[in-house]
Amino acid sequence: MIDLHAHTTASDGSLTPTELVQLAVETGLSTLGITDHDTIGGLAEGEEAACAAGLRFVPGVELSVDYKPGQFHLLGYFIDYRARPFLDRLTYLQNNRANRNELMIEKMKAAGLPITMEDLIEAAGGGQVGRPHMALAMVRKGIVGSVQEAFDRYLADGKPCHIPKVKLGPEDAIDLVHLAGGAAILAHPKYLRQPDEEKLSAELERLRDCGLDGIEVYYSQHTPEETETYLRLARRLDFAIGAGSDFHGASKPHVVLGRVYQGTGGDDALVAAIAASASRRSGSAPPPAARTPAAG
Burial of 224 (0-12, 13-18, 19+ CB in 10 A): exposed
Nearer to Zn ion, 203 or 246 (CB): 246
Task: Tell which one of 3, 6, 12, 281 touches Fe ion (CB under 5 A).
Answer: 12
3-state secondary structure 38-85: CCCCCHHHHHHHHHHHCCEEEEEEEEEECCCCCCEEEEEECCCCCCHH
Q: Which of 73, 131, 190, 281 binds Fe ion (CB under 5 A)?
A: 73
Query: Considering CB distances under 5 to 8 angstroms, the limit depending on partner class, which of ligand AMP, Zn ion, Fe ion, none binds residue 281?
Result: none
**What's the burial of 114, exposed, middle or buried (CB within 10 Å: 0-12/13-18/19+)?**
exposed
Rule CB under 6 A: say whether 249 interacts with ligand AMP.
no
Smallest separation, CB 11 to ligand AMP (Å): 8
Nearer CB in complex with ligand AMP: 38/47: 38
Residues in the chain: 296
Measured from the Cβ of residue 142, the count of other Cβ atoms closer than 10 Å reads: 7
Residue nearest to Fe ion (CB): 73
CB nearer to ligand AMP: pick between 46 and 132: 132
Q: What is the DSSP string of 164-196?
A: PPP-B-HHHHHHHHHHTT-EEEE--GGGG----
Q: Does 37 bind ligand AMP (CB under 6 A)?
A: yes
178 contacts 77 by C-beta, under 8 angstroms: no
Give the number of other CB atoms < 10 A from CB of residue 25: 15
Q: Which range in 116-124, 146-154, 180-188, 194-202 contacts Fe ion by CB under 5 A?
A: 180-188
* CB atoms inside a 10 Å sphere around CB 283: 10
State the binding string over 178-217 for ligand AMP (x if CB under 6 A, else -). Answer: ----------------------------------------
User: Under rule CB under 6 A, how many of the chain's residues touch ligand AMP?
Assistant: 9
Give CA–CA dist 236/283, Å, rounded: 25
Give rounded-to-5 percent helix, strand, coil for the chain. Answer: 45, 15, 40
**Residue closer to ligand AMP, measured from CB, 56 or 165:** 165
Neighbours of 237 (CB within 10 A): 16
Q: Does 170 bind ligand AMP (CB under 6 A)?
A: no
Residue number, 39 or 277, with CB nearest to Fe ion: 39
| 190 contributes a contact to Fe ion by CB under 5 A | no
Nearer to ligand AMP, 132 or 181 (CB): 132
Binding site for Zn ion (CB under 5 A): 62, 246
Least spacing, CB of residue 246 vs Fe ion, in Å: 6
Give me the residues that bind ligand AMP (CB under 6 A), please.
Answer: 12, 37, 130-132, 148, 151, 156, 165
